[in-house]
Amino acid sequence: MPGPVFLRGERVTLRPIEREDAHIVQRAYNEPEFHDGFLLNAPSNRETIESQIERREADDDSIVLFVCVDETPVGRVYVRDIEQDHGMLGYWLLPEERGHGYTTEGAAVLVDHVFEIVGLHRVFAWTIDDNDASQRLLRRLGFSHEGTYREHVFTRGAYRDTEHYGLLSSEWPGVDAVLDDWR
């Protein structure tokens, strides 16, 4: 039984991830293209995913939500490591759902929530150096490129650079302005 809607956009809703949703997260994590972005070096089994979901439910420093279209989960957005008025944005979308703007809308709705309701001052994110789609999404949301960490992570058999982005609450124009500019 899916959880209740927590936040609502024009085309997407965001709802909590439940233990029963582990198969969706497991499917995403086992997609080969996810391995880089999440630095996954081994397959994820259902028990591991269920355990992660339970830990996140108990965390006070994370907001982790499914992005749903017509009540069907198509991806995930989250702000985690929330401390001292800042947190880290992350997201993923199932491969067959890409190209429709669902991640942009879901991330915009969540960023709006953490600035306007939670009261964060800053949200940051990072990507692997060649993840152009993720970097475009962050720029669409108004994030500024803050720097490159050279050879920051080991993936695909080599050390890779990561690109770091940040957004201050004073720079956030609001979800409607972001989505209007994007469309």
Q: How much is the pLDDT for 1?
A: 39
Distance of alpha carbon 164 from alpha carbon 141, whole angstroms: 14
pLDDT tens-digit map of 36-86: 555 555 556 667 777 776 776 666 788 989 899 998 889 999 999 888 899
How many Cα atoms are found within 13 Å in the side-chain-facing hemisphere of 119? 2
Q: How much is the pLDDT for 163?
A: 97
Distance of alpha carbon 126 from alpha carbon 92, whole angstroms: 13
Q: Is 16 in contact with 111 (CB distance < 8 Å)? A: no
CATH superfamily of 7-182: Gcn5-related N-acetyltransferase (GNAT) (3.40.630.30)
> Which tokens is 77 given?
């957005």
Q: How much is the pLDDT for 33?
A: 67
Distance of alpha carbon 89 from alpha carbon 182, whole angstroms: 19
Instruction: Kindly list the domain boundaries of the chain, sorted by start residue.
Output: 7-182
Burial of 58 (0-12, 13-18, 19+ CB in 10 A): exposed
Q: How much is the pLDDT for 99?
A: 86
Q: Model-level pTM?
A: 0.87
Distance of alpha carbon 143 from alpha carbon 38, whole angstroms: 20
> Which parts of the chain register pLDDT below 50?
1
Q: Exposure string (b/e) for 162-179, b if CB count within 10 Å is 16 or more? A: bbbbbbebeebeebeebb
Phi, psi (deg, nearest 5) at residue 118? -75, -30
